[in-house]
Amino acid sequence: MIPRKALSGHVDVAHIHSVIDSADRPDYIHTMADNINATFEHELKRLEKRVDALVHVCDQLQDENRSLKQRQDVLTSERANLLQKNEQVRARVEAMIGRLKAMEQGS
């Protein structure tokens, strides 16, 4: 850093500080505020895109969940029908075995 004494002959440091800090130079403040607003808008749009993506994923998951529940209902119904048919076949086989045993005892 250059000492103020060395600058005193060339540049009025106090004047430079007063110009930079004065309200007469709103360009710097407005530019900074614009940059902050632009950054905020950018982040807000980025967040909006992420939320939209999450909503899309949630919609897909709900559709998939609904489809899986329907498939489960179909499979549960098919299983119940197969168990019923299995029971009917078992009863018929047991009846045939009973008739065969009766025929053997009758001979």
Q: Dump pLDDT digits (tens) for 23-62.
A: 555 565 667 777 888 898 999 999 999 999 999 999 999 9
Percent of the chain beyond pLDDT 70?
A: 71
- Report, as an integer, the average pLDDT of 77-90: 98
Q: In this predicted model, what pLDDT tens digit does every residue of 45-54 receive, in sequence order?
A: 999 999 999 9
Using only C-alpha atoms, the chain has a radius of gyration, in whole angstroms, of 43
Q: Enter the pTM of the model.
A: 0.53
Q: With 60 as the cut, is the pLDDT of residue 4 above it?
A: no
Question: What are the φ and ψ backbone dihedral angles of 2, each rounded to 5 degrees?
Answer: -90, 130
d(CA 17, CA 2): 15
The whole-number pLDDT of residue 32 equals: 73
**Distance between first and last Cα of the chain:** 124
Residue type, 85: K
Alpha-carbon distance of 11 to 106, in angstroms, equals 132
Using DSSP's 3-state secondary structure scheme, residue 72 falls into helix
Report pLDDT for 83: 98
At a CB cut-off of 8 Å and minimum separation 6, what does 7 contact? 13
E strand intervals along the chain? none
Distances from the Cα of 68 to the Cαs of 29, 47, 59, 83, in angstroms? 58, 31, 14, 22
| The pLDDT of residue 34 | 76
